[in-house]
Structure 1
Amino acid sequence: MLRLLTATFFLSVWCWSRTEAYNTSAMQLLSQKLLKDYDKNVLPSAEGKGVDIVVGASIVNFDLNEQTHELSLDFWIKLFWNDPRMTWDAEENAGIETVYFDSTHMWCPDLTLYTSSDWKNSKLTNGNTKIVVRHSGEIIYVPPAAVKVQCTIDVMLWPYDQHTCKVKFGSWVYDGYMMNLKKADPPLSLELDDMIRDWKLSNYSLSINTKHYECCPEPYVDATIYLTLRRAAPTFCWTVMMPTAVLCLLTFVTFLLPPASGEKIVVALLSLLANICFLDYVTKVIGHAPTHTPILVKVVCLQLVLLVLAVLLNALVLNISRGPHTLALSSSLKLPLIRLSSLLGLASYAHKVSRSDGADLEKSDRLELGEESKLCSGESRPRCNCDTEDNLWNWLLLGAVIDRLCLFIYLIIIVLSICIFSTVA
C-alpha cells in the first residue's frame, strides 16, 4: 500500500512537471511566432486605418515646488489599443490566452510630455515595463512615469491660494488620423498614500483635445491632466492672520488714547516697527512671486502707510491739544465743533468747553490735557503768556474731533480692505 501511494505521488509530480514544461514550451513557441516578421516601427492598424489609443492615468504622488514653479508628479499611464498582428487561436496554442513582452519588442505610442520642465525625461513610454497581450489582439500597457511640469504659482490669495497645473502629453510624430487618443472609463483615479502634504488635491480631470496648426491641415490630438491644488496650511491662521488682526487693533488703540497724551506717539511708533518686522517675515515666507502680490501683503502695506499717516496726525493732534497757542480758537469754529463732537462720541469734551466758570481743574482734567500743560490761575493770568483754561479746552476739542475723524476713516479703510480680502479668498 505504501509503495502504491509513493508511486502515485511521483507520477503526479512527473505529470505536473511535464504539463508545465509543455506550457512553457508552447508559450515560447507562441512568442517566437508572434514576433516573427513583426516590425515595431509600423503602426498596428488594419487596412491602412489609424489606431485608437485609450488613455487613462492613476496619480500616485505629487508635490508643488513654490520656488521653482514645478509640479513633481508620479503616476501610472494606462494605455489600451488593438494590434491585429498579435492575434492567435488559444485552443490551438495549449489554451494560452495571454502573453507578455518587453516594451522594447513591440510598437508603443510615442507619448511625449509637452509641458515638461526637463526635456531629457519627457518621453513617457520609456523603460522595460512588460506589455500584456491578449489572444484577441488587445494590448494593455501601464508604464510608471515620474515627471516635472511647469506650473506658474499665483499667490494673490495666499495663504488660501489654489493652482491648476496642466500635464499635457501626446504623440510627437503621429497626427490624429494616424493615432487618435480616447479617454478611458474612468479616465483618472487616485492611488495616493496617507502621507501629509503641503497641498491638497481638490479637483482633477483628464480631457482629450484636438488642435490644428497653421503648417499642417491634419489635426493633432493630446491628452491633458488638470490638477487643482489647494494650500493646506492651518498654521498660517495663527502665524499670519492673527498678527495682522492684532496690528490693526493696535493702530486702532492709538486713536483711542487722549488727544493730548504723549503715549499716542509711542504706541504708534511701536506699532509701525511691529508692522515692518511682520512684513519682513511674510516676505520671507512667500518669496518674490512673478505673478501677483498677495492681497494679505497689500493689507499689511496699507496698514503700514496708514500707521505712518497716524504718526503724523498724532503729532499734529498733540501739538493742537497741548499748545502753546498764540491765538484763541475762533468762536465761529467753536459752535460747529461742539455739535460735531456729540455725533463723534465726544460729549464730555463739549461739556467742558461749554463751561463758563473759571474753576480750577480737577486732577482727571489735567491728565486729559497732558502733564506738561501749564494753566494760569485767575491771579497769575496777567503775569503770564500761557494758555487759559477755556482756550486750551477749545483747542483740545479741535484735536479730539480731528483724532476721532481719523479713527473713523481708518476703520472704514481697514474694514473695506478686509471685506475685499475675505470676498476674494
Structure 2
Amino acid sequence: MDISHFGIDPDALWKPDLSVYNAAMGDKTQLKSQLPMLVYSSGTVLHVPVYHMHFSCIMDLTYWPHDTHNCSLKIGSWIHSGNLMDLEVKDFEIKFEIPSNEVIKGQNLSRTEWNISKSNAVREVKYYACCEEPYIDVLVTLLITRNAPAFAWTVKVPAACLSILTIVIFLLPPGAGEKLVFGGLLLLLDLLYIDYTSNAINHAPSHTPLIGKTS
C-alpha cells in the first residue's frame, strides 16, 4: 500500500507555542486548534489551524461614520528563541475573504460593516537585554474602513436637519414666544441625538467625532 500522507491527532505531535502579544483583555493564551495534522512520508507536517484571535486596536473616530483604522496583530513565541523556532512569511500581502451575502438567524446580510482595505505581514527579529538569542515574531497590519451606508440616514441626515433648525431660531423675532418653545424642543432633540450617537459608537473613543461636535 502506497501511503503518501495520513492524518494524526494534533495532541500527538509538538506544536509551536504561538501567542498573540497584543491580545485583548489580557488573553495571552497559546493559539490552539483541534484540527488534525497531515504527516507526509518525507517527514513534513502540515497543520492549517483555525483560530479566533482577539486583539486590541486603538480606534480614531474623528471622521465617524467614515472612519479608517490602522490595526496591528503581533504573533510569536513566548519561550523559544529564533535559534530554536523560526517564523517565516510566505506572502507579505494577506488576503481576506469576507462574505458579502450571508444569512444569520434568518436575516440576509447583504454587506459587512467593515472592509479590509490593505493588509501586510512582516517578519521581525528583536534582541532583548536579558538574552543574546534573537526572538522572532510576525507583525500583521490591517487598514480597516467602515462600510455602513445606513449611517447616512440615521446620523448625517438628522445632523443636517438639526443644523438647519438651529439657523431657523435666529430668524424668529426676539420677543416671539414661539422662539422659546422652539429652542427648548431643539435642545431636547440635540440631547436625544447625542445620546443616539454615543450608543452607536458604543465605547469611549480617543477622539471625539466631528459630527458630534457640530450637532
**Alpha-carbon displacement from aligned partner over 1:258-279 (angstroms, at most 9, x marks no partner):** 4565544443333223222222
Q: CA RMSD in A?
A: 2.7
Q: What is the aligned length?
A: 206
Q: Partner of 2:76 in structure 1?
A: 170
Q: Secondary structure at the match of 1:190?
A: coil
Matches within 5 A, 1:93-104: 95-104=2-11
Q: Does 1:249 align with 2:164?
A: yes
Distance 1:119 1:299, change over 3 A: closer
Structure 1: segments with no counterpart, 5+ residues: 1-22, 24-94, 301-425
Identity of aligned residues (%): 36
Change in CA separation of 1:239 and 1:139 when aligned onto 2, cut-off 3 Å: same
Task: Please point out which of 126, 130, 153 is paired with 2:37.
Answer: 130
Tell me if structure 2 keeps the 8 A contact 1:114–1:122: no
Of the three residues 47, 52, 62, the one matched with 1:141 is: 47
Amino acid at match of 2:151: F
TM-score, L = length of structure 2 = 0.80
Q: In the alignment, residue 117 of structure 1 is paired with which amino acid?
A: A
> Cα distance, 1:288 vs. partner?
4.4
The reply on whether 1:116 has 2:20 as its aligned counterpart is no
Q: Deviations over 1:49-74 (max 9, x none)?
A: xxxxxxxxxxxxxxxxxxxxxxxxxx
How much has 1:129 moved relative to structure 2?
1.9
Q: Is the 8 A contact 2:19 2:77 kept in 1?
A: yes
Task: Give how far 1:241 is off.
Answer: 0.9
Deviation at 1:201? 2.3
Q: Which stretch of the first structure deviates more once superposed, 173-182 or 101-110? A: 101-110
Residues 267/283 of structure 1: CA separation in 2 closer, same or farther (3 Å cut): same
Equivalent residue in structure 1 for 2:211, among 289, 296, 304 = 296
Change (3 A) 1:96 1:148: same
Tell me which of 133, 156, 162 is aligned to 1:218.
Answer: 133
Q: What residue number does 1:155 align with?
A: 61
Q: CA deviation at 1:121?
A: 7.3
1:181 aligned partner, one-letter code? L
Q: What is the distance in 1 between the residues matched to 2:7 and 2:41?
A: 9
Counterpart residue type for residue 163 of structure 2: C
Show the counterpart of 2:105: none
Give yes or no for contact 1:153–1:289 (8 Å, CA) kept in 2. no
Matches of 1:216 and 1:126 in 2, distance apart?
Answer: 30
Query: Using the alignment, how far apart are the partners of 1:293 and 1:102 within structure 2?
Result: 50
Preserved CA contact (<8 Å) 2:33 2:50: no
The structure showing larger relative contact order (alpha-carbon pairs under 8 Å, at least 6 residues apart) is 2
Query: Does the 8 Å CA contact 2:61/2:209 hold for their aligned counterparts?
Result: yes
**CA apart distance, 1:151:** 2.5
Tell me, yes or no, if the aligned pair for 1:100 and 1:133 is still in contact at 8 Å.
no
